[in-house]
Amino acid sequence: MKNILLISFLLTFTNSLFPQQGQFPPQREISRDSLLIYARTIVDSAQCRTLVTVDEEGNPRIREMAPFPPEDNWVIWLGTFPTSRKVKQIKNNPNVVVFYYDTKSYSYVNVSGKAELVNDPELKAKYWKEEWKVFYPDRDTQYILVKVIPERLEVCSFKYHLLWDADGRPASVEFAGYNSK
């Protein structure tokens, strides 16, 4: 009985959102700056943060990470072991995705770009959390940075009414021509 009530509710709810089969609400027009503000809000409240790399066979590999907040230009920094699989995968193929998901607002931000490995002591000190000493007792040799240079950012959010267009594409921002230096 509970399942029948749940299915009935979901059908009613779905039909109220999309009255005709295959009809989606139009993607609302939003400025690049506004979209980036929504994206930052979602990233800041995301409970799930993952890094996706590509393995030697061309398959995506995903793992939960603890990225630092994106910089103003949306460069993202992460830390890891220099001998980890993700480092080997980045050396082989620098195409990555950093994915943020806020379970409370049913919202995600997907930042795809190129990853660079950075072993600069000053930057490793800047992008460091003391509680990580448990995982990386020797920051000089057991810790390396992954710098993700954004190429494209996608946002989908039920809370902010940022849905996909008729072709299934979410709202996005291109970072074409970004200079990593």
pTM: 0.82
The pLDDT of residue 164 is 84
Residue 93 to residue 85: CA distance in whole angstroms: 12
pLDDT at 178: 57
Which of the pair, 167 or 72, is modelled with greater confidence? 72
Residue 132 DSSP SS3 = helix
**For the residues 51-73, what does the mean pLDDT come to?**
97
d(CA 22, CA 29): 21
Chain segment 93-133, per-residue pLDDT in tens: 999 999 999 999 999 999 999 999 999 999 999 999 999 99
Binned at pLDDT 50, 70 and 90, residue 26 comes out as: low
Q: Are 51 and 63 in contact (CB under 8 A)?
A: yes
Q: In the chain, where are the structural domains located?
A: 24-174
Distance CA 128, CA 124 (A): 6
The residue with greater pLDDT, 18 or 148, is 148
HSE-up of residue 45 (Cα within 13 Å, Cβ side):
14
As its CATH architecture, domain 24-174 has Roll (2.30)
Say whether pLDDT at 23 is over 60: no
Q: Calculate the average pLDDT of the chain.
A: 86
Specify the pLDDT at position 12: 41
